[in-house]
Amino acid sequence: MSNKMWGGRFSSAPDAIMEEINASIGFDYRFALQDIKGSLAHVSMLAETGIVSKETAKSIEQGLTQILAEIESGTFTFSRALEDIHMNVEGRLAEIVGPEAGRLHTARSRNDQVALDFRLWIRDTIDQLDRQILDLQQALAEKALAHAASIMPGFTHLQSAQPVTLGHHLLAYVEMLGRDRGRFQDARRRLNECPLGSAALAGTSFPIDRHMTAQALGFDRPTANSLDSVSDRDFVLETLSAAAITAVHLSRFAEEIVLWVTPQFGFARLSDGFTTGSSIMPQKRNPDAAELVRGKSGRMIGSLTALLIVMKGLPLAYSKDMQEDKEGTFDALQSLSLCLAAINGMVLDLQPDLKKLKTSAGAGYATATDLADWLVKTLKLPFRRAHHVTGELVGMASVRGIGLEKLSLEEMQKVEPGITQDVFSVLGVDKSVRSRTSYGGTAPANVRSQAKAWLKKLDRLK
């Protein structure tokens, strides 16, 4: 039997392989809710404009509501022969309503229908992700406030650079996630135009009211060009791009967790809840969740790349290649949601070893810049000269394998006669961190007020 939705000119059924490669119901069943919402808005507009009768519209609406209930209760049977969610819903509608169901598809096409469903689905998904990112920001900001004065090493090139506070470090991620939310919001704002009524590609000769459907579905306005409406997937690309960047941020944090919980770093500990054992090495506590967040970022970035490549050679308007826009997107956004939840869990779980963090903060001559700054401020040396003097002192200390503060005043004065006892006051990590009071710097007072400002802002957004 040929396809009952479009099989008029076909005399036989598709080849089994044709059916398999063509069908999208295996993944676009996720659009069920959006598809039915869209159809409800469409049919009520068709009735309002006199394109279908009020009675027909009413029975179609009832049929659609019943289908939604069937899908939600799990009694709906999806059929691969009906290809996709759009035809599965319409096929069932015909069973319930009879031939009048066929009027629902007046003045629309699956091309504008899928564009609509996907926009609605992306919009809902962005809203869910936004809430999750907010939750993570809050967890981080709370921990940051608690650790506004906890000293840890700050790194560049993964070499000890200058001491910072753990709170400052965590707030760096709150900032990144704030930009991530901004990117998702930006994508959401731009996607919020309704493609329904663009029909196959050229619009329609029926007197439809696209403003009415746009408004009913919560869009700001209808899309302006029917060709663009059915061939555009920018809204998916933008969302995947925001997702990929967020995934990169989560991956960087995950990588830090992986490093921090090694016995070599020993900066923090994850509980049994977020680690796994090894089947052969009894001592192991592996941070698998963090590693998987790091690993999944690869797949998420891949989904963005894959869709860019699908789209790049397509002439206007719709081509079936565009059905390939879905699986990678579902996978990426679902993975992102899982990664956000996993990082959130680890942020709450992570127990920093404050003693270890502070000791390491002083290692590797991390206060050398403080010494150079002291020479500039107290002895009025030019910074380049101060840098050189400090370098010599670091050299002396490192040859002997001791810290800067273990050099005697006499030894220091051999390099720079002006140095006084006062220099020792800047060699401690506490003083170093407290002195970084420039706007955005790591001083605990700064970190405390930044964490509080974030918590207030997040509270307002929730």
Catalytic residues: 157, 278
297, 250 in Cβ contact below 8 A? Answer: yes
Quick one: 123 or 296, whose CB is closer to ligand ARG? 123
Q: In the bound complex, what is the minimum distance in angstroms from residue 233's beta carbon to ligand ARG?
A: 10
Q: At what angle do helices 444-461 and 110-146 cross, to 10 degrees?
A: 140
Q: In the bound complex, what is the minimum distance in angstroms from residue 163's beta carbon to ligand ARG?
A: 54
Tell me how far apart the alpha carbons of residues 44 and 37 are, in angstroms, rounded to a whole number: 11
Tell me how far apart the alpha carbons of residues 4 and 91 are, in angstroms, rounded to a whole number: 8
Q: In the bound complex, what is the minimum distance in angstroms from residue 5's beta carbon to ligand ARG?
A: 10
Helix (H, G, I), strand (E, B) or coil at 24: coil
Tell me how far apart the alpha carbons of residues 195 and 227 are, in angstroms, rounded to a whole number: 10
Tell me how far apart the alpha carbons of residues 222 and 36 are, in angstroms, rounded to a whole number: 19
Indicate the length of the chain as a whole number: 462
Tell me how far apart the alpha carbons of residues 145 and 168 are, in angstroms, rounded to a whole number: 9
Q: In the bound complex, what is the minimum distance in angstroms from residue 234's beta carbon to ligand ARG?
A: 16
Quick one: 320 or 406, whose CB is closer to ligand ARG? 320
316, 225 in Cβ contact below 8 A? Answer: no
User: And the tokens for 64?
Assistant: 């659609």
Q: In 10 A of CB 12, how many CB atoms?
A: 8
Quick one: 23 or 133, whose CB is closer to ligand ARG? 23
Residue carrying structure tokens 């029909």: 199
Q: In the bound complex, what is the minimum distance in angstroms from residue 24's beta carbon to ligand ARG?
A: 4
Quick one: 35 or 373, whose CB is closer to ligand ARG? 35
Residues in contact with ligand ARG by the rule CB under 6 A = 24, 28, 84, 110-111, 114, 318, 320, 322-323
